[in-house]
Amino acid sequence: MATAFTIPVARVTLADGVPTTLYTVAAGHRLVVRDVWFRANGAVGDVFLYVTAGEPRILGTAIGSLGTGASYHWDGRQAVEAGEVLHGLSQGADCQVAVTGYLLTVE
């Protein structure tokens, strides 16, 4: 029996208004996003994670405004399938983001 454990997926600074690729899921795998931490470097209007490949979709991590130095934590379970790409976007100011989750092998 395999043991599931959380791995660091991405830890980056999202530049204001610049879509940033955080992770591309390899063939034969599924990423399950478990935790996302955001910290605003300035007054942020919106910060969110989204997935592209096929039909783009926003994960359940969209948040509204954050004041300078404010932080926000999201936890849950969002699957990102093989071939899909996880992106982050901050609007209004730079924002630090850290993502953790499980990387599963799909047979």
**pLDDT tens, position by position, 17-68:** 898 999 999 999 999 999 988 888 888 888 888 888 756 666 655 677 788 8
Residue 1 lies in a domain: no
The pTM score is: 0.84
What pLDDT was estimated at residue 60?
A: 57
Residue 35 lies in a domain: yes
Q: Which amino acid is at 68?
A: T
36 Cβ neighbours under 8 A, 6+ residues apart: 49, 61, 73, 74, 75, 97, 98, 99, 100
Domain extent for 92:
7-105
Rg value, the chain, Cα: 14
Q: How many domains does the chain have?
A: 1
| Pairwise CA distance, residues 43 & 91, whole Å | 9
Residue 34 lies in a domain: yes
